[in-house]
Chain A
Amino acid sequence: GDSVTQTEGQVTVSESKSLIINCTYSATSIAYPNLFWYVRYPGEGLQLLLKVITAGQKGSSRGFEATYNKETTSFHLQKASVQESDSAVYYCALSDRGNNYAQGLTFGLGTRVSVFP
């Protein structure tokens, strides 16, 4: 089946420093799935951070960027300068659009980001 592998565990970074969370994917039934980053802030539900549906394109939101790289099957999340408010758990996910969403989203394990002043 489909799978998503992302930087595991916790990442600690100082405020104003850069952040990268690695994500690679494997979609067994379709070559180019839709790719997403979701974020969960403390005490809140999952929120869509950004999405990219076309290979080769870049998505961006709230200073975060991720590029859909079909050669390396990756969708790494980056931010040049993080803030304390970026402390959250980030989830990489894919959907198999070939089945018109019949299979829902497949999530990675999540990466907890802690930003210190």
Chain B
Amino acid sequence: GALVYQYPRRTICKSGTSMRMECQAVGFQATSVAWYRQSPQKTFELIALSTVNSAIKYEQNFTQEKFPISHPNLSFSSMTVLNAYLEDRGLYLCGARDPGSSAETLYFGSGTRLTVL
């Protein structure tokens, strides 16, 4: 079956430092990877959508300068939170699209919970 591994599960960083999270698709080719953030008391917000052979598309309020994403092949993607501050805390999820399934199904990793001190 389609599985997505995301790591680390939890991370703590000091204010102003950066942290990187990674996402690995197993059992399928992740032609698209979506990165989401769930801030406290909010739902999941789409940060960006990365599609192989296309430019990474960032949503409003999110930029490449703040959340650079790498999607070098069909099984791996990473995202960095640069200069993290308190408002960046939350749960970050990567969701990978399985082109072999219908309806643009996204399979998610377990998430990376970011705490900023």
Other-chain residue from A46, A53, A100, A109 in contact with B108 (beta carbon distance below 8 A)? A46
Q: Does B57 contact A (CB under 8 A)?
A: yes
Give B106's nearest chain A residue, CB to CB: A105
How many residue pairs link A and B with beta carbons under 8 A? The number is 62
CB-CB contacts below 8 Å: A72-117 with B: 91, 95, 97, 100-110
Given contacts A44-B110, A48-B106, A95-B104, contact A109 B42 (CB under 8 A): yes
Once A45-B109, A51-B103 are accepted as A-B contacts, the answer to whether A101 and B97 lie under 8 Å apart by CB is yes
Q: Is A34 an interface residue (CB 8 A)?
A: yes
Q: Give the size of the chain A interface in residues (CB under 8 angstroms).
A: 25
A28 at the B interface (CB under 8 A)? no
Asked if B61 is at the interface of the complex by the 8 Å CB criterion, the answer is: no
Q: Which of A44, A47, A105 contacts B34 (CB 8 A)?
A: A105
Which of A48, A104, A110 has a CB less than 8 Å from the CB of B46?
A: A104
Given contacts A91-B43, A110-B43, contact A102 B57 (CB under 8 A): yes
Which residues on A sit within 8 Å (CB–CB) of B4? 45
| Min C-beta distance of A18 to chain B, whole Å | 25
Interface residues of B (CB under 8 A from A): 4, 6, 32, 34, 36, 42-44, 46, 49, 57, 93, 95, 97, 102-111
- Jot down 25 A-B pairs with beta carbons below 8 A, ordered by A: A34-B103, A38-B108, A45-B109, A45-B110, A45-B111, A46-B44, A46-B95, A46-B111, A48-B105, A48-B107, A51-B102, A51-B103, A53-B103, A95-B103, A95-B104, A97-B103, A97-B104, A101-B32, A101-B104, A102-B57, A104-B106, A105-B46, A105-B106, A107-B36, A109-B43
